[in-house]
Amino acid sequence: MNNTPALQEPLPILGMGMVVLGSVLLLLLLTVRHKMKVDPLFYVFAEFSFTCMVGLTNALEQDGFISGFMGFYLKKGEPHLSTAYAVMMSYWEGVFHLVLFHYIIHCMFKGKSYRSLGLLWAGSSIAHQIVLIPGVVIGKYGSNIRPVFWRNVPFFLLPFWVASVLFSRHREMPVVTADKIVAEQKKGLLSRPVDLLLSLLLMGSMAFSVFRGFVVLDCPLDVCFTYIYQYEPYLKDPVGFPRVMMLVYLFYALPLLTVLIYGLKTPGCSWMLDWTIFFAGAMAQTQWCHIGASLHSRTPFTYRVPADKWWPVITPNVLLAAVPALLALRCHTNPAFFMKPVPKGQTDNEKKKK
């Protein structure tokens, strides 16, 4: 296709992309038509698996491991895919998402629950699209948007639909005795050191998100000026992705962090078991792309993290991804505190007394 001029124009590229995706969907329908019942989400995950392989191809070509596959598409289709942010995004899709899809599909056909894994992907994918689409529009590639760029719209909407379907499905709760639930929910936050530490880390994440939100909004304070020029100059990269990401953190992640702290303090918040997974996926994806892009050779040298400021910048960025993951792990390894409160008189000890 690199050598076929007719296929290197914007509209033919869009049409060709739609035909390829439609062909993949048709092949999937023919492959599983003999099955008595197929979960509709199977088609979404399988279709996305194909796009993940395309993303991995792009990442490998941009980093020089392969060549001759994506040149025409980047030139006439989506030139922003050559940026460091898009390369890191493509690696995430081509490795993490692809492995996740394969395991989810395996669980589907084995009759195992995949609800939590699906929510992990939904959080990751929604965060990816929320940063990617506005970042392209407001960044330096906004004046060079081609028709094929708008193929991202269905890929933006589908994860929301998947998330709504999964959130509405029944959550499989572990078997926990009523006495254990009551005992855990009687403990205050100070009596739960792990939860106390997680709460403090979440508060630190909130402060860091607010600070960097002010930084990208050109706050005139000296500390903001010093940070963006001497510590994390990637925040002013004209590609637009880092600025959009910091605003997403400020206006979306910040309220959710507040709610998660409330959930750690208040017993019986069963929604924590779902939302912590969703949020962990979102933060892992965005921080992987942000950290990787700020260090990648495709980012101009002036916007990369200075070598002498590496640890002060990378450490809080890694924690910003790790804390939600640790919170999700804590909620699922010991969920008693987050389960519905036991009605009075229903514990085993109270029944014995009667």
DSSP secondary structure, 225-266, as one string: HHIIIII-GGGG-TTSHHHHHHHHIIIIIHHHHHHHHHHHHS
Residues 216 and 143 in one domain: no
Residues in the chain, total? 354
Scan for tokens 């912590």, then name that residue: 276
CA angle 67, 147, 53 (to 5 degrees): 35
What per-residue confidence (pLDDT) applies to 263? 97
Q: Where does a domain end: 149, 168, 187? A: 168
The pLDDT tens digits for 160-179 are: 999 999 999 988 888 888 88
Measured distance CA(331)–CA(318) in Å, rounded? 20
Residues 240 and 104 in one domain: no
Residues 55 and 157 in one domain: yes
Distance from CA of residue 84 to its chain's centroid?
17
What per-residue confidence (pLDDT) applies to 255? 97
Below-50 pLDDT ranges, the chain: 1, 350-354
Sign of CA dihedral 125, 128, 131, 133: negative
70's tokens: 């994506």
Burial of residue 24, with CB atoms counted within 10 A of its CB: 0-12 exposed, 13-18 middle, 19 or more buried: middle
Residue 262: other Cβ atoms inside 10 A: 12
Residues 145 and 202 in one domain: no
Scan for tokens 């979960």, then name that residue: 39
Nearest residue to 249 (alpha-carbon basis) of 158, 317, 199: 317
Give the HSE-up count for residue 347: Cα atoms under 13 Å, Cβ half-sphere: 14
pTM attached to this predicted model:
0.91
What per-residue confidence (pLDDT) applies to 282? 98
Residues 136 and 19 in one domain: yes
Residues 43 and 134 in one domain: yes
Q: What is the DSSP letter of 345?
A: T
Nearest residue to 117 (alpha-carbon basis) of 332, 351, 336, 337: 332
The pLDDT tens digits for 246-287 are: 999 999 999 999 999 999 999 999 999 999 999 999 999 999
Residues 33 and 102 in one domain: yes
Residues 251 and 313 in one domain: yes
Check: CB of residue 39 under 8 Å from CB of residue 107.
Answer: no
User: Which range marks the domain in which residue 111 is found?
Assistant: 5-168
Nearest residue to 214 (alpha-carbon basis) of 200, 223, 224, 203: 224
Residues 150 and 191 in one domain: no
What per-residue confidence (pLDDT) applies to 343? 66
Burial of residue 226, with CB atoms counted within 10 A of its CB: 0-12 exposed, 13-18 middle, 19 or more buried: exposed
Residue 314: other Cβ atoms inside 10 A: 15
Amino acid at position 203, single letter: M
Q: What is the DSSP letter of 82?
A: G
Measured distance CA(83)–CA(349) in Å, rounded? 62
